[in-house]
Structure 1
């Protein structure tokens, strides 16, 4: 069987979020935040860079830590220990420049720092601190919120994008303006005077662009807002910019990719100009499939949470890179990817999240698969957004880890687990699930989410140790999903599954 790649496409003990994919030479590199397994907050680990040959996206490797938070002068082990979402660009001098922001626990302080820059001679080598992005006068550039930087070498012009936006204008009136100024100042780490001054020109928030000089750290132009920061701008409907700036240029069109205020989705806007007249395009991907074929928040496919990523083209195929949540937490996010299509009119239809991602097609019908590559994990009711309260966590199934094992836990009555897609070449299969827990019941095995196309039933009678349970299934040939709906009592964990044509059993 040929080597395959799943979602997530990196090892299950690796947690790269906020991914910026770039092709340099003959390799695809993924630059991103580095979460800790079962971490206590965002971005707890130093940067590593994963990459794969552009002709073999199944083979991802890394060369270890490329940059440490302690290298930044802003580092403070108590107040400012973490590096948030980065981006990398190749400068006109051939070197590679890393842009990022320092922040504390839960992002505290991240809105009040300048953007930091490091430099290296190779994309995944050892970066050295260069300095802060600064104004023409040589002071740290602090106009607007300097957060989630993105950068592009636009035919020799280095363009930096950044920013964040909250819905203050939705609630602002002449009666509460003063108190909102105080709240905004405290949240963003700025003075009330600065907030008042910025308000005269649309406020301190928004999606921002600035051109950098050849030294890669000095602003060559004045930073400017590239899209309206007002929720009264109907062109963006209810998909207003929140954070996670990313920029691409395709032919003569600029694509600004961002995380909307809905938080779970990556959206895009396009313009013929790099710094103005961006028009909302749509949603590219949601980590709960919300919006795909009319799916609502109430029946989302997973626990949703922050989303941040971008698009890239590899050998003529475009992909979107995004992240999913694990451990019922915002703090252990994993990189995933899906192929996308850019239509002749430049639009990008929303894609569904799958288990096969970069595999260039469905998964084989003959193999052993980790349970954790499921693209749907729900309790049959509404799943949470972000980290639920500790007392509520037992109500939700999730990908979890313990003692180097990665599995789905908290499976209870009506839990639904889905995998998209497999290519079934025969009709009869033996399916084995590796399970444990105190549970009595059965799994309905189907090729559709609603379990109307049943292809088998797997009885469950478990104790505390892992146990392989086998059932025969009969399905139509072709490309199909696999769904498991648990009906029964107790709770169980799911480690892996083995799918095998009965002719080979």
Structure 2
């Protein structure tokens, strides 16, 4: 088998909001499709990738599976395809659930005879009278075939706290009307409001809603006293059933983390269990928001079991913004009590073991990239001053490396003695220090001098062999970019 690293798909492709599913003997990834360096979410058509379950290094591009032109509701102003999910129906066909951009719905459905063929528009989730189902906020659909019962989960919420006075109540109401394109009456007449995570049951036609929406976990306004405080529902619904327990995976109000709640029932009694992963490693070993190890923004994904091993699939944020996201994955363990301990982001991901310290690696497989004050982005903007994954043409590299920038790779199986080389360019002058822990003893360092073209610089190291992180910290003036890392 080949080695594989994060991001695990081709580096030019930006698949976000990934839903992993095993169908027969292959693992499929379905997600939204960002443009490299894009300024808005989900600008491209849906594509799919798959890998044999016995070799997660062998990913195959399945091609475009659905285009925005296929949806009759798409317009020139509203056609981006947001986060999808796929489920196998009782008829053996595969159904893709998705929403166009925005919050007004409906949830649309496409169908195909195979998991990654060309899906055809099938219809929209509807009320029994055939009208479009738009109750609550039809957003981020997730679907499960629960022993023949088709369950749909969906929803969205502002991260607002409970209004403290009439003015705040009015402001929240007007914001909801504008954002969700609903009237005051539509919002007021919905029991429990419209924001939150909800579930309904679908008929055998995979379209018709047969139950009233039930809220399964609270939004931030309702979270006090529920156990979800600080990790209330924001978006990114995903559902799994493991033995007799339902796992609801979601993006919390913190935005950068995937959390989970469990219940013995599909539509009630969900209990907050914890964070599975943060794309800035916030919360891992007590790390604070201010200590995040990457630019953070949205996160959305789920978990899947492949050949007896569970993994969490998530995305990272690149290009100094929120709208150019890449699929990553990490192994996780589900304990006997059903709990999942938070895992850290790594460079080796699906590899299942440290990377061999031999060969050339793209610099952008770094799992930590920080200047010590990386931001969290809640709006669509680009922060140019920070270190970031970037590209020019077919070159993809780490840009804006300045004094104090730390670039981390986890993990390599280091030799006792070896050489480390990096390919860099820029007007920087100083040294690149190499260590096995952040802010720890340097095992090697190399001189950095200005260059308008990428050039190799090399250092020798002598250290205790075995599994280790590898950190590069630049100390000096100016800025540089890094294209590759070579270990020998």
Q: TM-score range by the shorter chain?
A: over 0.9
Moved more, 351-360 or 183-192: 183-192
Contact 1:444 1:456 in 2 (8 A): yes
Contact 1:380 1:415 in 2 (8 A): yes
Aligned 1:380-399 pairs, distance under 5 A: 380-385=372-377, 392-394=383-385, 396-399=386-389
Matched, 1:405 2:404: no
Matched, 1:181 2:173: yes
Structure 2 CA distance for partners of 1:387 and 1:438, relative to 1, 3 Å: farther
- In structure 2, what is the Cα distance between the partners aligned to 1:387 and 1:113? 21
1:106 counterpart residue number: none
Matched, 1:283 2:275: yes
Q: CA deviation at 1:223?
A: 1.6
Matched, 1:478 2:466: yes
Contact 1:206 1:228 in 2 (8 A): yes
- In structure 1, what is the Cα distance between the partners aligned to 2:99 and 2:55? 32
1:422 aligns with one of 384, 409, 412: 412
Aligned 1:450-469 pairs, distance under 5 A: 450=439, 452-469=440-457
Q: State the Cα deviation string for residues 463-487 of structure 1 (Å, max 9, x = none).
A: 1111110110112111000000100
Aligned 1:25-104 pairs, distance under 5 A: 25-77=24-76, 79-103=77-101
- In structure 2, what is the Cα distance between the partners aligned to 1:169 and 1:237? 11
- In structure 2, what is the Cα distance between the partners aligned to 1:177 and 1:14? 43
- In structure 1, what is the Cα distance between the partners aligned to 2:374 and 2:395? 27
What SS does the aligned partner of 2:267 have?
Answer: coil
What SS does the aligned partner of 1:70 have?
Answer: helix
- In structure 1, what is the Cα distance between the partners aligned to 2:442 and 2:247? 42
What SS does the aligned partner of 2:170 have?
Answer: helix
- In structure 2, what is the Cα distance between the partners aligned to 1:443 and 1:178? 54
2:199 aligns with one of 179, 203, 209: 209
1:107 counterpart residue number: none
- In structure 2, what is the Cα distance between the partners aligned to 1:49 and 1:382? 32
- In structure 1, what is the Cα distance between the partners aligned to 2:172 and 2:214? 23
Q: CA deviation at 1:175?
A: 4.7
Q: State the Cα deviation string for residues 98-118 of structure 1 (Å, max 9, x = none).
A: 000011xxxxxx211110000
Q: CA deviation at 1:168?
A: 4.4
Contact 1:303 1:386 in 2 (8 A): no
Gap runs ≥5 in structure 1: 104-109, 501-505
- In structure 1, what is the Cα distance between the partners aligned to 2:309 and 2:270? 25
Contact 1:258 1:308 in 2 (8 A): yes
Contact 2:323 2:380 in 1 (8 A): no
What SS does the aligned partner of 1:159 have?
Answer: strand
Q: How many residue pairs are counted as aligned between the two chains?
A: 486
Structure 2 CA distance for partners of 1:412 and 1:387, relative to 1, 3 Å: farther
Contact 1:172 1:180 in 2 (8 A): no
Contact 1:410 1:492 in 2 (8 A): yes
1:5 counterpart residue number: 4
1:379 aligns with one of 367, 371, 376: 371
- In structure 1, what is the Cα distance between the partners aligned to 2:436 and 2:390? 25
2:126 counterpart residue number: 134
Q: State the Cα deviation string for residues 160-214 of structure 1 (Å, max 9, x = none).
A: 000011144522534543343222111111111111222xx21111101011111
What SS does the aligned partner of 1:98 have?
Answer: strand
What SS does the aligned partner of 2:115 have?
Answer: coil
Superposed CA RMSD in Å reads 1.3
- In structure 2, what is the Cα distance between the partners aligned to 1:445 and 1:205? 48
Contact 1:407 1:495 in 2 (8 A): yes
1:446 counterpart residue number: 435
